[in-house]
């Protein structure tokens, strides 16, 4: 009898565990956004950007399972982190989603409320480029929400001072063409460089000497990951499906699980996530000559040298000679010898 009770107890525990995993995978995990924190340390990161927070979010897949309330919950999660800059890794709409001006407005309103004082940036994913019409909707959303699209180009992230890092954006490899030469045209190996592309396998194309970190999405981390495989393993996420990878012992490829779901609305061992990167500078502190209240909108430009003021020679004052003053002689009165002398009056006693 005790043996039967022990077996029933074990079966009950197993059943409860399986039930919990199913409830979590299908009901809780898709609606719960995990924040993964990472630190990027380098002597190429300027002291001006020490402790700067860059948030990476990818694969929203709005329309099928991601609705207004879930998207707003995502935005609230991001704003609680208070990032300095935000990078979007592509794919706003889910495949086969119904796209209208109304849905555009819903997404744009939510993304517009994301606060990032140093800028909001985006690359396009394969779903964003699925058709010319979809791309037009996506670009309109990003423009309304104040996201700058970096398509085979680079931008500088800075806080108004001379120090900056470079952010390189590449097109995806599925239905577009990444142009590495154009994207890295204005990038120097002396600066810290973060590259971002929707497709993870594109990391093998970038130059090793001018890439310090590589951000990607697309794969959803498999969405549901089993020890023998993944529920979702798309093309161009074949070599690198999930997690972090050291590329040729040079830079790290970091693949986000994204925040949306595709097909079945579930997550298992691949939680929906946003990633917050904190920059840590090991560079020596340097004095900056930036005047308070000024803003350098092109930190890569050669600074204008201050004008040199030539010293004005002192005027030479010649001594002025004082003219000699000759005293004027007092005239001597002439006495007439023939004149009768004037008598002196006598005073009576």
CATH class of 34-281: alpha beta
Report the pLDDT value the prediction gives residue 314, as an integer from 0 to 100: 47
Average of per-residue pLDDT across 231-254: 97
C-alpha dist (Å) from residue 326 to 31, 319, 323, 332: 113, 22, 9, 18
Domain ranges of the chain: 34-281
Report the pLDDT value the prediction gives residue 227, as an integer from 0 to 100: 78
pTM of the model as a whole: 0.80
Contact 280, 289 (CB under 8 A): no
Distance CA 257, CA 271 (A): 7
Average of per-residue pLDDT across 315-325: 44
Distance CA 346, CA 77 (A): 130
What is the average pLDDT value for the chain, to the nearest integer?
Answer: 86
Tens digit of pLDDT for each residue in 111-146?
A: 999 999 999 999 999 999 999 999 999 999 999 999
Distance CA 79, CA 87 (A): 14
- What order do you get walking across the sheet with 213-216 strand by strand? 153-157, 165-170, 193-197, 213-216, 251-255, 243-247
- Per-residue confidence at 18, pLDDT binned at 50, 70, 90? confident
Contact 116, 145 (CB under 8 A): no
Tens digit of pLDDT for each residue in 71-121?
A: 999 999 999 999 999 999 999 999 999 999 999 999 999 999 999 999 999
DSSP 3-state percent helix, strand, coil across the chain (nearest 5) = 25, 20, 55
């Amino acid at each position: 009898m005790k043996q039967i009770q022990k077996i029933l107890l074990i079966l009950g525990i197993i059943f409860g565990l399986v039930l919990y995993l199913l409830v979590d995978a299908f009901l809780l995990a898709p609606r719960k956004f995990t924040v993964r924190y990472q630190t990027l340390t380098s002597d190429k990161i300027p002291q001006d950007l020490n402790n700067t927070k860059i948030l990476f979010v990818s694969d929203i897949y709005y329309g099928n399972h991601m609705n207004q309330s879930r998207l707003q919950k995502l935005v609230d999660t991001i704003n609680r982190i208070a990032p300095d800059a935000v990078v979007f890794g592509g794919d706003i709409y889910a495949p086969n989603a119904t796209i209208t001006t109304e849905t555009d407005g819903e997404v744009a309103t939510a993304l517009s409320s994301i606060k990032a004082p140093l800028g909001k940036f985006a690359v396009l994913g394969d779903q964003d480029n699925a058709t010319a019409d979809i791309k037009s909707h996506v670009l309109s959303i990003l423009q309304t929400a104040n996201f700058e699209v970096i398509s085979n180009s680079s931008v500088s992230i800075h806080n108004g001072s001379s120090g900056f890092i470079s952010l390189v954006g590449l097109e995806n490899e599925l239905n577009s063409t990444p142009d590495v030469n154009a994207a890295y045209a204005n990038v120097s190996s002396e600066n810290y460089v973060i590259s971002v592309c929707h497709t993870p396998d594109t990391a093998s194309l970038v130059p090793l000497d001018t890439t310090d970190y590589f951000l990607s999405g697309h794969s959803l981390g498999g969405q549901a990951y089993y020890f023998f495989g993944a529920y979702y393993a798309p093309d161009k996420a074949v070599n690198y499906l999930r997690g972090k990878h050291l590329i040729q012992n040079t830079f790290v490829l970091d693949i986000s699980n994204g925040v949306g779901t595709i097909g079945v609305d579930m997550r298992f061992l691949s939680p929906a996530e946003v990633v917050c990167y904190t920059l840590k500078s090991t560079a020596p502190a340097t004095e900056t000559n930036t005047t308070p209240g000024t803003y350098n909108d092109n930190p890569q430009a050669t600074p204008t040298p201050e004008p040199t003021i030539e010293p004005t020679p002192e005027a030479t004052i010649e001594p002025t000679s004082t003219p000699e003053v000759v005293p004027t002689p007092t005239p001597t009165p002439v006495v007439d010898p023939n004149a009768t002398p004037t008598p002196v009056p006598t005073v009576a006693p």
